[in-house]
Structure 1
């Protein structure tokens, strides 16, 4: 399993603690591979973009109008976190539903 998130994000820290064997990728440092972003956008659609984040508030109207893939490639911290990838299965966030799906 790969956990995409931010090392400074409290929610990502909780997920990392619960999933100690997951490989962690800090999106600020390493980004997210384009193929993963495309799959995640296909799975979660616009919900993948965190429109409540500071990064979103700092974007210009022109940047906000861009394609979500372009937004996430330019500003990977816009992605809702964590994004968990386990083979062909993806989970977004660390909600009770996600935790239940993972057996917690």
Structure 2
């Protein structure tokens, strides 16, 4: 099952979704309305090899909680992602057993190519 974890209120996520072909093959999960489960996060971890790769340092909570001045471990990254949706780098695509994390142009281009 191909899936996208995104935030419906995020302009960047909406723009990326608009640019995608064949979105009918994706299962959409708005992580604010339907938070990711520990099992879903484990699947993302297995595919990415790291909780840190899934963690967003751009989150406002990252700054307000002063996390940049702490030495975060993989367990910390996992805990924060499960605690609040804003810590997941978005969007996250899982397509044909491969994960694409974040909104870099390279990632978006790869997702478009895979969905075409």
State whether structure 2 residue 75 is matched by structure 1 residue 74: no
Q: Which has the larger radius of gyration?
A: 2
Of 37, 40, 45, the residue aligned with 1:41 is 45
8 Å CA contact 1:41, 1:69 repeated in 2: no
State the shift of 1:58 in Å: 2.6
Cα distance in 2 for partners of 1:41, 1:32 equals 12
Extract structure 1 runs of 4+ deviating beyond 4 A. Answer: none
Other-structure match for 2:29: 25
Of 51, 54, 61, the residue aligned with 1:55 is 61
Query: Structure 1: 5+ residue runs without aligned partners?
Result: none
Cα distance in 2 for partners of 1:58, 1:14 equals 27
8 Å CA contact 1:2, 1:24 repeated in 2: yes
TM-score computed with the length of structure 1 as normaliser: 0.79
TM-score computed with the length of structure 2 as normaliser: 0.72
- RMSD (Å) for aligned C-alpha atoms: 2.2
What are the Cα deviations for residues 44-89 of structure 1, in whole angstroms up to 9, with x where unaligned?
521211112112123265xx64621111111121111000012411
Cα distance in 2 for partners of 1:94, 1:37 equals 18
